Amino acid sequence: MFKNLIANILIGILFLSLVTISCRRMSGELPESYYNFPIDTTVQIIQSIPSEVDESSGIIVLNDKIWTHNDSGDGPTVYEMSIESGEILSTVDFEDATARDWEDIAQDSQFIYVSDMGNNAGKRRDLAIYKTAKLDLLDGSDAAATFKMDIAYPDRTDYKPQAYKHNFDCEAILAFEDSLYIFSKNHLDKHCRFYTAANNLKSQQLNLKDRFDTKGMVTGAAFDPENKVLALLGYNLDPSVGNFGPFVWLFWDYPNRDFFSGKSRRINMPVIAQSEGIAFWKNGQFLISTEKSRIMRGKLMLFDAKKWIE
């Protein structure tokens, strides 16, 4: 399937050589709890991510193509990327939208949603989710009409916390029928809050449903509709040294989309990289995107989740 097989094998060798680095217990790098979970050394590199989206922060698969966007510092733009070649095939701007800190992208049967809810510093009030029709995205034009939804947390009172020391950041969303499912990135307690929201209101407070001790910060969400498996991507991070330890939490056998009430398992990824985008691919497999680092370009990885499900 992949045209650049030899190049990708070489990339994969470089990538997997970092396993030893990521597993090393050097004082102060990663919390001890990081090493209590298995590492999946079979994760594959299938493509490099082009420089136009070197801060790929969210991904979906639509018509066998990747759609992604940058984190911050870019316009309100989504990029269509070939999985086979890694080339950018098209770009579409969201009309009447801004991109202060775009963190994730999701889809349902008719619409695309992009979350502008990144809040590392903890002081943002202008949180939003943008919605556009898939038909507008795929009609060949370079712009799409956009509906903006202003978002607020129901349980937030402090708007002056210390940066990276609060629980009101969000980088992961899913869409089901008439609802959005939102998963928080808790810098302070390393838990994940699970919220829901309507997908058609101009302004609303989120509904807090549950929380789960992810022992790390969640940065992306994806759903396998074939096996009813929720995957939450995240990482452990020590800001003093800047090392990332990515992981994926899998949730299954839960009642009525009460995801945190079923079975769960965490698997660590075999690399130190800022991993923020995850999307269901096929046959129990997920695609994961990483951002560009000082030592390599961003990568598109293939993670086989089904072997970890009991």
In this predicted structure, the answer to whether residue 191 has a pLDDT above a threshold of 90 is yes
pLDDT tens per residue across span 192-234: 999 999 999 999 999 999 999 999 999 999 999 999 999 999 9
Residue 72 pLDDT: 87
Q: Are strands 147-152 and 143-144 parallel, antiparallel or unpaired?
A: unpaired
Residue 35 pLDDT: 79
Q: Which of 230, 246, 239 is nearest to 187 (CA)?
A: 239
* Amino acid at position 186, single letter: N
User: Cα 115 to chain center, whole Å?
Assistant: 11
Cβ contact 45:299 at 8 Å: yes
pLDDT tens per residue across span 16-41: 444 444 444 433 466 777 778 999 99
In this predicted structure, the answer to whether residue 15 has a pLDDT above a threshold of 80 is no
Domains and CATH numbers, the chain: 5-36+46-308 (2.120.10)
Q: Are strands 192-198 and 207-212 parallel, antiparallel or unpaired?
A: antiparallel
Residue 176 pLDDT: 94
Cβ contact 190:213 at 8 Å: yes
Q: Predicted confidence band at 131 (pLDDT cuts at 50, 70, 90)?
A: very high
DSSP string, 185-245: --TTT--EEEEEEESS-SEEEPEEEEEE--SSEEEEEEEETTTTEEEEEEEEEETTTTEEE
Cβ contact 202:148 at 8 Å: yes
Based on the number of CB atoms within 10 Å of its own CB, is 178 exposed (0-12), middle (13-18) or buried (19 or more)?
Answer: exposed
Instruction: Tell me the whole-structure pTM to 2 decimals.
Output: 0.91
For 70-190, where are the alpha helices, taking DSSP H only? 134-138
